[in-house]
């Protein structure tokens, strides 16, 4: 065949117009294809679906060229191309089988395959690269490899241990990410990666830092996570363009001194490791703006550490620090300081000179007081000092004009300084688990305050001035000694979404509670309520109502107006019957818990709750479930422990996954309709059922792997 004719035929076969391809196949019958044409044919057989006319015609031509006396060789070829499944591994096997029978220009074939972007998934590219290396192909002439600048290996698929050796074909690679928990050997030579800038590798079991990483001269970012590395190689200092070095979740005990050569380093993170000291030379990395040494074994920083004048972010949380550097004030650009979970007892006064500080995070220390000049931190927005030993706040705290979050949970505070009234931008304050006897009324005039948490203090009253806190979204006063809710609570109707008053001494609620139209969650659990006001039915947006641990016998009829209610908890009250009339109209109710009452029967109308998914009736006096109960088709969890059941008709509950009917009076004959088909867990301990009954119960239905507990 003349080269001109061959060129024309190749153009027809590779045309995007299917009609031209079919013409090319017809012409192909007149010639004996050479290596190039067989390469084109193989490419087309792989790329076209088997149900297309192109594939059928081309496969007919290919079969016609199989020599009759080579049936043993041709069998795998026919089987591969006849299969309806044609995944990547099968493609490679098909190519191998094809080349055993026909002379094929493999380099041309692979190049054509990779011209189609649908065949250029990153894992497939690795596979093709390994194939090319195995067969000695010149990958520099395969455009699909040369065009690849970003490669992501993200899979649970088994790759050969040496799979990463294929990386050498991607000479234009700029970013390489490996997300795989399959062990892979890192290539020994990265000198070809002149353009590689970003390297991200996670979940390998490497203990030694791959020194070849330091051969990629233009690397700007290295991220190595979740691997038992014991070191960072000394040659890391060669990577003079490196800006980000992140080696987290490792076993590294020390960093190399050569790190001081990284003059362009901006981000350094060695968290969740075993560092006991920080290399002194780190101060030479004058571009550092972000350092994370959290979750190590550090107890001090180098004396000259504070000469890192561009440092903006410092995280030394979860270490062994008993004090912060006295010259911390030299970090003049610092905006965020994380020192959670250490053993700090005090802060250096110099910290108040950090004029750009926005976030101060001191949770879980032993800090007894904040610096008196705290108010000098004019940019401070966040103070997190939960779980310390603070007994008072400095008066200057009111001079923090931007303070937004003030979290002081689990300290020894008894009051707030009057200056808190000046925190005009404060949105969230958490004083949970302190020693307040009185509600700090200084908070109530703060115009942006949205969240107050005073749980677990010693409050006895809610001030009438509560009506002034009209921007509140969240109010938590649980676990106090409050015996009355003022009428003014209704003034919070504009925004209040959650009101938590559980574990107090409330005996009644004001009618104004019904004005809280935006309330989504109301917690009144473990009080001394004997009734609810009719206005409770006006809470039109209520999603969850917690009433457990009171002395309720009935619910108001108005409860039926809570059409958005989803969760209702009535445990530990004095109900003698399920107050079905009160919530039968609640079409969104999906969870009811009414344990530890005196209910004797389940009303037939229970089936009128269309989306009921969980029902807990434990510790009552129920003897049976009604026949209409099987209409609760959404019910997937039924708990009815510690009652007096002698029969349990649940076979019609088609979506039931979990059934607990322990400590009743059930026998093997107590299930007239058996178990529903999707029942996964069936707990029947404490009944009149013996181990010998288990086989009979298993035959009554349920999921084939049902967990049946009878003893």
Helix, strand or coil for residue 169?
helix
Q: Other C-beta atoms within 10 Å of 205: how many?
A: 12
Q: Which residue has the higher pLDDT, 672 or 660?
A: 660
CB contact set of 353 (below 8 Å; sequence gap of 6+)? 329, 376
Quote the pLDDT of residue 297.
97
pTM to 2 decimals? 0.89
Q: Any idea which of 37-41, 89-93, 503-507, 638-642 has the lowest mean pLDDT?
A: 89-93
Q: Hey, which bits of 61-184 come out as E strands?
A: 150-154, 175-179
Quote the pLDDT of residue 390.
98
Tell me the per-residue pLDDT of 448-463, one tens digit each, with 9 for 90 and over.
Answer: 999 999 999 999 999 9
Q: Which helix (H) or strand (E) holds 698?
A: helix 694-698
* Residue 244 and residue 222 in contact, taking contact as beta carbons nearer than 8 Å: yes
CB contact set of 13 (below 8 Å; sequence gap of 6+)? 21, 24, 25, 28, 37, 40, 41, 44
- Using the predicted structure, report yes or no on whether residue 466 has a pLDDT greater than 90: yes
- Using the predicted structure, report yes or no on whether residue 70 has a pLDDT greater than 60: no
Round to whole Å and give the CA distance between 186 and 367.
Answer: 46
Round to whole Å and give the CA distance between 643 and 662.
Answer: 8
Quote the pLDDT of residue 71.
47
Q: Any idea which of 74-78, 139-143, 607-611, 682-686 has the lowest mean pLDDT?
A: 74-78
Domain boundaries, the chain: 3-119, 601-711
The token duo for 377 is 């931190």
* Residue 625 and residue 599 in contact, taking contact as beta carbons nearer than 8 Å: no
Q: Which residues pair with 246 in a beta bridge?
A: 223, 269
* Residue 523 and residue 496 in contact, taking contact as beta carbons nearer than 8 Å: no
- Using the predicted structure, report yes or no on whether residue 59 has a pLDDT greater than 90: no
Percent with pLDDT over 90 in the chain:
69
Round to whole Å and give the CA distance between 4 and 2.
Answer: 5
Round to whole Å and give the CA distance between 269 and 275.
Answer: 12
Q: How confident is the model at residue 30 (pLDDT cuts 50, 70, 90)?
A: confident
CATH fold of the domain at 601-711: 3.80.10
Quote the pLDDT of residue 353.
97
Quote the pLDDT of residue 190.
86
Percent with pLDDT over 70 in the chain:
96
Report, as an integer, the average pLDDT of 99-103.
88
Q: How confident is the model at residue 68 (pLDDT cuts 50, 70, 90)?
A: low
Tell me the per-residue pLDDT of 270-328, one tens digit each, with 9 for 90 and over.
Answer: 999 999 999 888 999 999 999 999 999 999 999 899 999 999 999 999 999 999 999 99
- Quickly tell me which residue has 């969230």 as its tokens: 428
Q: How confident is the model at residue 619 (pLDDT cuts 50, 70, 90)?
A: very high
Q: Which helix (H) or strand (E) holds 681?
A: strand 681-683
Residue among 474, 425, 428 nearest 447 (CA): 425
Quote the pLDDT of residue 87.
76
Helix, strand or coil for residue 669?
coil
Q: Which residue has the higher pLDDT, 47 or 480?
A: 480
- Using the predicted structure, report yes or no on whether residue 628 has a pLDDT greater than 80: no
Mean pLDDT of the chain: 92
């Amino acid at each position: 065949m003349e080269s001109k004719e061959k060129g024309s035929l190749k153009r027809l076969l590779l045309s995007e117009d299917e009609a031209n391809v079919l013409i090319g196949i017809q012409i192909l019958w007149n010639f004996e294809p050479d290596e190039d044409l067989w390469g084109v044919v193989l490419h087309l057989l792989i790329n076209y679906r088997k149900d297309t006319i192109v594939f059928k015609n081309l496969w007919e031509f290919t079969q016609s060229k199989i020599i009759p006396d080579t049936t043993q060789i041709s069998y795998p070829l026919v089987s591969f191309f006849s299969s309806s499944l044609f995944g990547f591994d099968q493609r490679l096997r098909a190519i191998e089988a094809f080349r055993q029978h026909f002379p094929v220009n493999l380099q041309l074939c692979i190049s054509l395959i990779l011209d189609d972007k649908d065949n250029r998934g990153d894992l497939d590219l690795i596979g093709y690269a390994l194939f090319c290396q195995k067969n000695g192909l010149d990958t520099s002439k395969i455009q699909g490899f040369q065009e690849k600048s970003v490669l992501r290996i993200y899979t649970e698929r088994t790759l050969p241990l040496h799979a990463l050796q294929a990386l050498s074909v991607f000479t234009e690679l700029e970013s390489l990410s490996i997300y795989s928990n399959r062990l892979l050997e890192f290539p020994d030579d990265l000198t070809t990666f002149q353009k590689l800038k970003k390297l991200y590798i996670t979940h390998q079991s490497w203990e030694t830092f791959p020194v070849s990483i330091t051969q990629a001269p233009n690397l700007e970012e290295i991220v190595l996570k979740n691997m038992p590395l014991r070191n960072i190689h000394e040659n890391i200092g060669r990577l003079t363009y490196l800006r980000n070095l992140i080696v987290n979740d490792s076993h590294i005990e020390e960093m190399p001194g050569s790190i001081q050569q990284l003059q362009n380093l901006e981000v350094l993170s060695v968290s969740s490791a075993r560092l006991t000291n920080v290399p002194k030379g780190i101060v030479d990395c004058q571009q550092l703006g972000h350092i994370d040494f959290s979750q190590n074994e550090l107890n001090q920083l180098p004396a000259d550490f504070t000469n890192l004048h561009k440092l903006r972010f410092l995280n030394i949380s979860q270490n062994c620090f008993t004090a912060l550097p006295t010259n911390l004030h030299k970090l003049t650009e610092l905006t965020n300081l994380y020192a959670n979970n250490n053993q700090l007892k005090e802060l250096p006064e110099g910290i108040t000179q950090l004029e750009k500080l926005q976030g101060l995070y001191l949770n879980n220390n032993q800090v007894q007081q904040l610096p008196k000049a705290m108010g000098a931190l004019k940019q401070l927005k966040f103070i997190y000092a939960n779980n310390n030993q603070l007994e008072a706040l400095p008066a200057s705290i009111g001079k923090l004009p931007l303070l937004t979050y003030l979290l002081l949970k689990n300290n020894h505070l008894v009051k707030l300084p009057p200056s808190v009234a000046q925190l005009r931008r404060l949105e969230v304050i958490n004083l949970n688990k302190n020693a307040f006897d009185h509600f700090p009324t200084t908070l109530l005039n703060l115009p942006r305050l949205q969240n107050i948490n005073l749980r677990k203090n010693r409050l006895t009253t809610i001030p009438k001035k509560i009506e002034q806190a009209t921007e509140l979204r969240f109010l938590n006063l649980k676990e106090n000694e409050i015996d009355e809710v003022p009428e003014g609570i209704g003034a919070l109707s504009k925004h209040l979404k959650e009101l938590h008053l559980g574990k107090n001494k409330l005996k009644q609620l004001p009618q104004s509670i019904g004005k809280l139209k935006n309330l989504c969650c109301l917690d009144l659990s473990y009080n001394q309520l004997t009734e609810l006001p009719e206005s409770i039915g006006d809470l039109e947006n209520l999603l969850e109502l917690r009433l457990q641990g009171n002395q309720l016998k009935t619910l108001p009829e108005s409860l039926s107006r809570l059409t958005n209610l989803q969760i209702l908890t009535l445990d530990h009250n004095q109900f003698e019957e399920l107050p079905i009339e009160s919530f039968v109209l609640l079409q969104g109710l999906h969870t009811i818990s009414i344990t530890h009452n005196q209910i004797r029967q389940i009303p037939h109308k229970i089936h009128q709750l269309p989306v009921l998914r969980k029902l807990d009736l434990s510790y009552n006096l129920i003897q049976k479930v009604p026949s209409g109960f099987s209409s609760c088709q959404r019910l997937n969890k039924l708990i009815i422990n510690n009652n007096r059941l002698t029969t349990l008709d649940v076979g019609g509950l088609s979506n039931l996954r979990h059934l607990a009917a322990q400590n009743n009076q059930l026998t093997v004959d107590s299930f007239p309709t058996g178990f529903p088909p999707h029942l996964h867990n069936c707990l029947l301990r404490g009944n009149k059922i013996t181990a010998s009954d288990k086989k009979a119960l298993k035959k009554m239905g349920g999921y084939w792997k049902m967990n049946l507990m009878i003893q």
